[in-house]
Amino acid sequence: MFIPIRQLHLHDIIVDLVLMMWAACLYDMRQSSDLAIARAVYMLHRVLKELSTKRLARDRAALAAVSVQLFPVLAEVWVARSSQLLAALGPWAATHSSSAAVDDEALVPLAELVTHLIKCLYRITLCGFPNTMQVQRRDYMIYSLPLLNQLTL
């Protein structure tokens, strides 16, 4: 049955989708294969990218809500995966400098995963947090604003 898009609570659907992705992502970080993790993070990146371009206050509030939950998890996963990449890059560079035949693309999936993680963190850090000063003044309207605005002077 065709449902006009205006009758849907679009932002609720987006929030639900983000949360589902986040839950899947969190689950996959601990349980699933590297491929599943890469796909979950990629999906999360695409959803966050869309959500961060929203301008309506309600959509921004939705992004702010999920950002609080996503930030610690993503930051932790990013540090772990980035450390893994750094640890692998050293021997890889040494092998290449010795001109030995090595698999050039062995580290590409891991590097792509870390790139998508940092893209997610970019969206969250720069678009996903409300301005605390506006929260104090008008708690019914939350704007998503840079993470650093959380810091008090």
Catalog residues that contact other proteins under the rule CB under 8 A: 15, 19, 61-62, 64-66, 68-69, 71-72, 75, 78-79, 82-83, 85-86, 89-90, 92-94, 96-98, 104-108, 111-112, 114-115, 118-119, 121-122, 125-126, 129-135, 139, 142-143, 145-153
- For residue 87, give every residue at least 6 positions away whose Cβ sits within 8 Å of its Cβ, in sequence order, or none: none
DSSP string, 66-111: HHHHHHHHHHHHHHHHHHHHHHHHHHHHHHHHTT----TTTTHHHH
Nearer to other proteins, 34 or 112 (CB): 112
Contact 125, 110 (CB under 8 A): no
Nearer to other proteins, 29 or 135 (CB): 135
The minimum distance between CB 130 and other proteins, in angstroms, equals 6
The minimum distance between CB 97 and other proteins, in angstroms, equals 3
Nearer to other proteins, 5 or 117 (CB): 117
Nearer to other proteins, 3 or 151 (CB): 151
Question: What are 109's two structure tokens?
Answer: 């999936």
Question: What are 16's two structure tokens?
Answer: 């639900």
Lookup result for tokens 């301008």:
55
